[in-house]
Amino acid sequence: MLTLIRRFWRPLASAAAVLLLCLAIWGYGKSQYRQGVADTKAEAVLQQISIEQGMQYERDRADADYRGAVLARETAQKDVAAVRARLDRLLRQHRDDAKIASAGSGSDAAGPDWIGIVGACYAEYGELGADAARWADQLNGLQGYVRAIQQAQ
C-alpha cells in the first residue's frame, strides 16, 4: 500500500487540491448568496419604511387640509352669526322706531311689513351661507379623494 501511495501521491494530491478548490468556490458562492438575500431583505425593509413614511405624510397632510377646511367653515359661520346678530339688533331697533312712528303718522309711515321681508330675506341668506359651507366641505373632501387617487396611479 505504501508503494501505491508513493506511486500515485501526485495525482492524489492534485485531486485533493482540486476538491479543496471546489469546496472553497462552493463556500464562497454560498456566502455570496446569503449576502444577496440579506441585502434584498434590507432593501425591502427600507422600501417598506419609505412607503409607510410617505403614507403617514399623506395622512398628516390630509388631516391638515381637513382641519383648515373646518376652520374656514367655522370662521364663515361665525361671520354669518355676527352679521345675523347685528341685523337682528337693527331689526329690533327699526321695529321699535316703527312702533313709535306709526303711533302718530299717516299712510306713508314705515310699516312692519318691510321689516319682516328683510328679516325673511336675511334668514334665507343665513341658511344659504350654512349650505354653502357644507358644500365647500364636501367639495374639499371630494377634491382630496380625487388627488389621492391620482397620486396612487
Q: State the SS3 of 97-146.
A: HHHHHHHHCCCCCCCHHHHHHHHHHHHHHHHHHHHHHHHHHHHHHHHHHH
Domain-embedded: residue 91: yes
Asked whether residue 147 is assigned to any structural domain, the reply reads: yes
Q: How far apart are CA 82 and CA 76, in angstroms?
A: 10
Q: Is residue 108 part of a domain?
A: yes
List the chain pLDDT tens, one digit each, 153 residues.
Answer: 678 778 888 888 999 999 999 999 999 999 999 999 999 999 999 999 999 999 999 889 888 888 888 888 888 778 877 877 887 787 777 777 666 655 555 555 555 566 677 777 877 877 887 788 788 888 888 888 888 888 877
Q: How many domains does the chain have?
A: 1
In a domain, 36, yes or no: yes
- Within a domain: 118: yes
Spatial distance between the Cα atoms of 61 and 148, rounded to a whole number of angstroms = 11
Query: How would you class 131 by CB atoms within 10 Å of its CB: exposed for 0-12, middle for 13-18, buried for 19 or more?
Result: exposed
Domain membership of residue 15 (yes or no) is no
Q: Residue 3 falls within a domain, yes or no? A: no
Query: What domain range includes position 39?
Result: 22-152
- Residue 16 in any domain: the answer is no
pTM confidence score: 0.47
